[in-house]
Amino acid sequence: MTKQTNRRYSDRHPGLSRHHISRLAFLLAGLLIAVSSVSLLFVGYVASHASDEQAIRNEKRLFENTLHDRMRLIVREQVTVARWDAAVTNIVLNFDYEFVREHVGSLWTDHRHNRTFLIAGDDQILAETFQDYTHITKRHLDETPELKPIVAQARTLYEKNRVRVPGGFSYRSLQGLDTAEYAALGFVTIDGKPALVGAMPIIPDQETVRLPKGPPTILLSAKFIDDAFIEDINSQLSFKEMAFVASFQTEAGAPGHQITDVADNPLGSFRWVSDTRADTIWPTVIPVILLLSVSLAVLAFGIAWRIGKLTSSLHASERQNRYLALHDTLSGLANRLQFNRVLASSVKELPDKTFAVIHCDLDKFKAVNDTFGHAAGDAVIKTVAERMTQAVGRGGLVARVGGDEFVIIMRSITDRAGLRELANTLITSISEPMPLPDGEETNIGLSIGIALAPDEGVDGESLVAAADAALYYSKENGRGRMVFASDLPTLELSEAKSVQSGGGYQAAS
């Protein structure tokens, strides 16, 4: 009896032990599943939050770069009028109404500057434009006090760069100077509307005239931050639901950019909806978490799979942001940032490796938008990009730096004959009929200015300025043609002789 009792007792003990271990195993398995689920939730939260923050930082950086480019562009457009001996003669020294109406008014017709002011050294506003209407007036700057801070900045820069010469004063060369070193930039409120403003003095370019003593005459122009401005700046960014609001308060970490006027008073904020938010991670993470209760094997596989997919998503987002930062979203060409980088690297290789800067501007492109709409204009830009890329090939970089403005850095062809042939190929290609989305066709043209490195400069600013000047000459003298920057003095002399002799003028291409 004792032996049987002992056997049963010994049989019962292992049963209790196995049951206890089983419960511990289930408990440990449950604990592991719970810990793994919480860990995955935490990883998902951190990853989505980090992805949100990085995407928004990249978008803000891209927006700031684009806005800075627009500031520089408004000054470059002003330079065509403000840095000119004829402007000094007909505005500063002898105020010519017709000259002012024609050339100051061109800032609207050519570049869509909504408002332009000419402000004399005694704070008298001599003229102002309202889009396509130029009003000759004489009223004191005190009537428009919001302009006084930026006018004061422009005068301070003038005093810094003014040079005394025999017979009066001149101005130092703009080559090598950053835009902010000779022009005042910022935001102000004009007519109750926030506006991007540039202001610079009227100064000579060829040293044939002298500036008088005293404060300068300031050319100030503005682009309102309206729907047209937002559409223009967003044509490069393609942000979702971009808008400008008067409110200066933004949610912490939200996509946006706040602006203040020159006196540091708040004006409002640019807002948009981020396209790269990581909220879509959660609908895929939750099913994986539910699968953790099935088995530890599924749990391990699910964690590894999700982490791998999450990493791929972050890498894809980073690649997309890098691509957007260096490419124009409409045409797929290099944007201004990539162009500036390639230009800087090309300059560093001088004089061992020469190159050319080819500045191209479409002729009659505005008529396409006005006649067929912006969708047609976008189609034309894409076709132009394809034709330019095909013509240039792998030997150069084609970049879109404005609405209808393209710049090429050409390394494989640097002789004048080859560049002339390339320019003629580009002009011929672009002049061919452009297909439109509705089956119609349209025709545009192309004007080209070419600067050779190191002949026209050994720094990017000088080369771009030289190409700009050649392009401007091409546009002003017939369009649909190319001009070398090195030919400008000869061309201008030939034009002057032609005018003196009463004959006509045909510029050489």
Among 87, 121, 123, which Cα is nearest to 107's? 87
Using one digit for the tens of pLDDT, what is the confidence trace for 414-459? 999 999 999 999 999 999 999 998 888 999 999 999 999 999 999 9
CA distance 454 to 347: 8
Using one digit for the tens of pLDDT, what is the confidence trace for 138-180? 899 999 999 999 999 999 999 999 999 998 999 999 888 999 9
Residue type, 345: S
CA distance 397 to 33: 55
85 CB neighbour count, 10 Å cutoff? 14
Looking at the chain, the whole-number percentage of residues with pLDDT higher than 70 is 79
CA distance 197 to 204: 22
Alpha carbons within 13 angstroms on the beta-carbon side of residue 460 total: 17
| Residue 461, pLDDT score | 93
| Residue 15, pLDDT score | 45
For the chain, domains (ranges, CATH) are: 73-231 (3.30.450), 336-501 (3.30.70.270)
Q: Look up residue 486 and give its DSSP letter.
A: G
Tokens coding 107: 């800032």
Task: Specify whether the backbone of 364 is left (phi greater than 0), alpha (psi in -120 to 50) or beta.
Answer: left
Tokens coding 240: 């979702």
| Residue 14, pLDDT score | 47
Cis amide linkage into residue 216, ω under 30° from 0: no
Q: What is the largest CA-CA distance in the chain?
A: 143
Among 231, 146, 156, which Cα is nearest to 197's? 146
CA distance 194 to 496: 43
CA distance 407 to 386: 14
Per the model's pLDDT, the better-predicted residue between 342 and 303 turns out to be 342
Per the model's pLDDT, the better-predicted residue between 495 and 173 turns out to be 173
Task: Confirm if 321 and 237 have CB atoms less than 8 A apart.
Answer: no
CA distance 288 to 293: 10
Query: Residue 87 pLDDT > 70, yes or no?
Result: yes
